[in-house]
Amino acid sequence: MKRDILGIREMDIEDIKAILAMAKAAQPKVADKSKRDKSLENTSITTLFYENSTRTKLSFLLVGEYLGAMPSDLNISTSSVNKGETLIDTGKTLAAMGTNVIIIRHGMTGAAHLLAKNVGCSVINGGDGSNEHPTQALLDMFTMEEALGTLKGINVAIVGDIANSRVARSNVFGLQKMGARVTLAGPATMLSGGMAAFGATITNNVKDAIKDADVIMGLRVQLERQRALKVPSLLEYSQAFGVDDEMLSHAKPHALIMHPGPTNRGVEMTASVLDSKNSLVYNQVANGVAVRMACLKYVMEGR
């Protein structure tokens, strides 16, 4: 157990396994109110999100409510951040008020690490720039293991705006550690050659990427991180790299569909693919709550 969860890259296999096992134990508490306990009573958690979020922020706040913690959200747009207060001063202020865990999302790579170095409380990275999104990769691995029984030897194809994706990076680190094979696919302008060094296969050909895949994960084109659109148009992107029923006919019939959300239906994946019987998109969301229960317990025990 460790005090913080900052990235999958620095996480031991044993820690990943421990969190996945804790999430399995926590899973019944997500839907069944009577199974919930007060294990995070007297724990104060604060979400500090400098970037938009639906799933990550809300699932941490709900876990806080479900397990008796006292969750609060600092609304950045109405906070003193707008008066020029720094990240470190903001974090120290939250810690001084008695916050035990800060969950941070920030546009800058390394923001969560910087905060963790400077505050006395635990820090969980809810996404730092294009770097890492560890709790997303943990919930993705949990969902794949639940559906396939194992992560060892499975083939995962991740298709989309790889270069900007902290989800892709954290999944590559995690899945490789757990013995899975990862292929990253997208237009050359959206691929990050660096990931080959971590053992991922890189290709521009979506058909090749998905043909042996057990899991096909779509990623959003992150226009907010692209200074100029990296493809001629989103229509052309979806025609060449989007996953639709025709593209899916080249995959194995049992291939599972995943997406971290938010989806731009019809761009990276069509509605009929996202809503197909093999889609695990809402399993991911529900499992995200269980995994974040585990993450909060893990950092509290790691203190």
* Residues making contact with ligand NCD (CB under 6 A): 55-56, 127, 133, 136, 166-167, 220, 222, 260-261
Strand partners, 202: 184
3-state secondary structure 176-236: HHCCCEEEEECCHHHCCHHHHHHCCEEECCHHHHHCCCCEEEECCCCHHHCCCCCCCCHHH
What is the closest distance, in whole angstroms, from the C-beta atom of residue 214 to ligand NCD in the complex? 21
What is the closest distance, in whole angstroms, from the C-beta atom of residue 192 to ligand NCD in the complex? 15
Q: Which is nearer to ligand NCD, 204 or 222 (CB)?
A: 222
User: In which residue are the tokens 């470190």 written?
Assistant: 88
Q: Which is nearer to ligand NCD, 166 or 297 (CB)?
A: 166
Cis bond before residue 262 (omega within 30° of 0): yes
What is the closest distance, in whole angstroms, from the C-beta atom of residue 29 to ligand NCD in the complex? 21
> For residue 216, which of 138, 140, 134, 131 has the smallest C-alpha distance?
140
What is the closest distance, in whole angstroms, from the C-beta atom of residue 167 to ligand NCD in the complex? 5
Q: Is 254 helix (H, G, I), strand (E, B) or coil?
A: coil
Q: Which is nearer to ligand NCD, 91 or 261 (CB)?
A: 261
What is the closest distance, in whole angstroms, from the C-beta atom of residue 48 to ligand NCD in the complex? 15
CA distance 291 to 298: 10
Q: Which is nearer to ligand NCD, 27 or 56 (CB)?
A: 56
Q: Which is nearer to ligand NCD, 95 or 293 (CB)?
A: 293
CA distance 229 to 131: 20
Q: Which is nearer to ligand NCD, 36 or 225 (CB)?
A: 225
What is the closest distance, in whole angstroms, from the C-beta atom of residue 171 to ligand NCD in the complex? 11
What is the closest distance, in whole angstroms, from the C-beta atom of residue 194 to ligand NCD in the complex? 18
Q: Which is nearer to ligand NCD, 55 or 177 (CB)?
A: 55
